Amino acid sequence: MKNRWQILVSAFYPLLAAALPASAPSSAPAAASAVVAPVIELTRSVEDGKPVLTAKVTQDGKPAAGVTVMFSVKRTFGAIALGQDVTLDDGTAAVPFPDSLPGETDGTLKIRALLIAPEAYESREITLALPAIREAPARTRTFPRELWSPRAPVSLLATLLVLLGGVWLTYGYVILQIKKIKQEGSS
């Protein structure tokens, strides 16, 4: 005669087998891990006397054709889109580079190339810091002494010092008078 636990397990065995995942490995993850991520090379060059950005996309050392590449420049509050292009048979995509775009304070531009199509390549990107053609405008270190600037005019500072000095002198005078009254009261 069977044990109660054996009967219980044999009754629920089909349910357990259906609920637990199969232990045999599937071929889909193995195939996905065999796919090598694409490699992106980003360069700036001159074609027909005009500067262009060129991205070369390769996979397994071979050029990847038909990949949509979006180019942008990172700025302080986001990115400026420079354009997008589809790679040719040699795996290159190019967009015109605006030579009037000023660089960062360190004299560089942070260029980004992002793959947006096909789906297998999405979200692959490269960022490259290139020297800017046009330097950022020089910032002035000192502000004029005006009401709108962080450096207040001398006349305003003098007025504030006189008024606040008068208030603190009044506090001091009152404290001295209280001490004199306290001394006279105790004698």
CATH of the domain at 41: 2.60.40.1940
Q: Of 83, 103, 131, which residue is a domain's last?
A: 131
- What sign for the dihedral angle of Cα 103, 104, 108, 110? negative
% the chain with pLDDT above 90: 29
Asked whether residue 82 is domain-assigned, the answer is yes
Rounded distance between C-alpha atoms, residue 187 and residue 107, angstroms: 77
For residues 150 and 13, give the distance between their C-alpha atoms in angstroms, rounded to a whole number. 78
- Claim to verify: residue 120 and residue 49 sit in the same structural domain: yes
Question: Higher model confidence: residue 15 or residue 95?
Answer: 95
What digits encode the pLDDT tens for the residues 121-148? Answer: 777 888 888 777 666 666 667 778 888 8
Structural domain contains residue 17: no
Residue 3 scores a pLDDT above 70? no
Q: What domain range includes position 181?
A: 146-187
Q: What would the DSSP string read from start to end of 8-64? A: HHHHHHHHHHHHSPPSSPPHHHHHHHHSPPPEEEEEEEEETTEEEEEEEEEETTEEP
Q: Are residues 56 and 99 in the same domain?
A: yes
Task: Give the model confidence (pLDDT) of 147-182 as tens digits.
Answer: 888 888 999 999 999 999 999 999 999 999 999 999
**Are both 110 and 43 inside the same structural domain?**
yes
**Same-domain check for residues 65 and 105:** yes
In a domain, residue 53? The reply is yes
Do 68 and 127 sit in the same domain of this protein? Answer: yes
Q: What pLDDT was estimated at residue 169?
A: 97
Angle, CA 125 vertex, CA 50 and CA 132 arms, to 5° = 35
- 172 and 122: one domain? no
Residue 165: per-residue pLDDT: 97
Q: What local confidence, expressed as pLDDT, does residue 132 receive?
A: 74
| Same domain for 109 and 49 | yes
pTM above 0.75, yes or no: no
| 118 against 62, higher pLDDT | 62
Tell me what pLDDT residue 93 has. 92
Please check whether residues 60 and 124 belong to one and the same domain.
Answer: yes
The mean pLDDT of 91-103, rounded to a whole number, is 85
Q: In the numeric block, which tokens belong to residue 177?
A: 């008078």
Q: Are residues 116 and 155 in the same domain?
A: no
Is the domain of 55 the same as that of 106?
yes
Q: How many C-beta atoms surround the C-beta of residue 103 within 10 A?
A: 18
Q: Is the pLDDT confidence value at 30 over 60? A: no
